[in-house]
């Protein structure tokens, strides 16, 4: 069922600022079903593994520090066309470029601290979901 699922994290800045409820409301209103969800905190090793594709990028150390500095909400979401529709809902990586009404436009502070993650492919959605959740945590 990977085709209809995506993976998200409400990142540390969104949790710190008290935006969990508002963002989950937008996710529900957009028609996503929550398959799995938890409040958790990534270790340095977790963040380095999760974002390994970016390890040569200049922003990588900053990204790891940011993603490990406090709790996140990790979740698996289900909907037809989940990956693409969720990327539309969150908006561009840089909130300055994000469309009006998107989660990043409303809640992201910068290209680094951009409030929310959304998987960029069905394959990555399955890998990222399995990184955070065991089978018995998915409903």
Give the nearer residue to ligand UDP in terms of CB position, either 33 or 87. Answer: 87
- Kindly indicate which of the ranges 18-26, 30-38, 76-84, 114-122 contains the residues binding ligand UDP, using the contact rule CB under 6 A: 114-122
Kindly write out the interface string for residues 17-56 of this chain, putting x where it contacts ligand UDP by CB under 6 A and - elsewhere: ----------------------------------------
Residues 62-91 that bind ligand UDP (CB under 6 A): 63
Is 87 annotated in some ligand binding site? yes
Alpha helices (runs of H) in 1-139, residue ranges in sequence order:
12-16, 20-29, 44-50, 60-68, 82-90, 103-107, 122-132
Asked if 122 touches ligand UDP (CB under 6 A), the answer is: no
CA dihedral 72, 74, 17, 32 (to 10 degrees): 180
Q: What is the rounded distance in angstroms from the CA atom of residue 70 to the CA atom of residue 99? A: 27
If DSSP codes are grouped into helix, strand and coil, which group holds residue 88?
helix
Where is the binding site for ATP, in residues? Answer: 11, 59, 87, 93, 104, 114
């Amino acid at each position: 069922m990977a085709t209809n699922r995506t993976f998200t994290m409400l990142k540390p800045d969104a949790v710190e600022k008290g935006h969990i409820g508002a963002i989950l409301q937008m996710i529900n209103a957009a028609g996503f079903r929550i398959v799995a969800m938890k409040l958790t905190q990534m270790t340095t090793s977790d963040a380095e593994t999760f974002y390994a594709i970016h390890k040569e990028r200049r922003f990588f150390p900053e990204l790891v520090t940011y993603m490990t500095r406090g709790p996140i909400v990790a979740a698996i979401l289900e909907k037809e066309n989940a990956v693409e529709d969720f990327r539309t809902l969150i908006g561009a990586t840089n909130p300055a470029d994000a469309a009006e009404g998107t989660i990043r436009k409303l809640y992201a502070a910068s290209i680094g601290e951009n409030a929310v993650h959304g998987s960029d492919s069905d394959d990555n959605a399955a890998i990222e979901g399995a990184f955070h959740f065991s089978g018995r945590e998915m409903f």
